[in-house]
Homo-oligomer: A and B are copies of this chain.
Amino acid sequence: MTDVLREQKRYYAERAPEYDDWWYRRGRYTREPELERRWLLDVAELEEALRIFAPRGDVLELAAGTGIWTRRLVPTADRVVAVDANAETLALNTPAAELVVADIFTWEPPQRFDVVFFSFWHSHVPEERIDDFWALVRSALQPEGRVFVVDSGPRGDATGDGKQVRQLADGREFTIVKHYWRPDQLRERLLPLGFSLDLRLTANSHFLYGGGVLV
């Protein structure tokens, strides 16, 4: 693991107890009412898209974190295997999924799944690992398997080298990978890797999302 990936892992371990404040817009993440309303509209758009996608069968979630999405995968799936690098985040996830602590870049899927899902993970994969990461996704999927991706919408606050300095509530700083993708750009990047994804932004551009298949 490179230094920045180690630091990124540690950042999410330390952030575990405060992670959900970001999603639920609490404390230092609170914004003014109209911005909050637009965030909630975008969240509803993601949930509706996932509902229509209908993650059925054996579902693998990568970088499952505190389980904001794991809890939405369980009801439609037969089984959910939720992998995360940190035990600290999985401790806040749901035991209704099979929780696996493992480094996603070295983990070998023990079976093939019907669906691979990951949220707010792809933007944390360094460019030089994108090919390997999608090779892992491929190796984890049934031939007819499907993928669903949720991530941050594109914005201008990453440095040119795709890194960000993040601060915890107590002020500690960590350098992490954050590579924002535009839907068309990510779609094109993935086609030669054998994935056809229908990606888009939510109405208020907070999130990139979409589903797809192996080609």
Contact = CB atoms under 8 A, between A and B. Distances in A.
A84 to B, nearest CB: 15
A76 B47 CA distance: 13
A39 B75 CA distance: 9
B32 A75 contact: no
A143 to B, nearest CB: 28
Contact of A74 (B24, B26, B40): B40
Interface string A55-82: 0000000000001000110111000000
Contacts of A67: 24
A183 to B, nearest CB: 22
Contact of A96 (B37, B72, B75, B92): B37
Interface string A26-53: 1000111110110111011000000000
Q: How many copies of this chain? A: 2
Contacts of A26: 92
Contacts of A40: 71, 74-75, 94, 96
Contacts of A76: 44
Contacts of A92: 24, 26
Nearest to A71: B40
A71 B37 contact: no
B36 A75 contact: no
A39 B95 CA distance: 11
A25 interface: yes
Given A24-B67, A67-B24, A41 B95 contact: no
Interface of A: 24-26, 30-34, 36-37, 39-41, 43-44, 67, 71-72, 74-76, 92, 94-96
Going nearest first, the 3 A-B pairs with the smallest beta carbon separation are: A44-B75, A36-B96, A37-B96
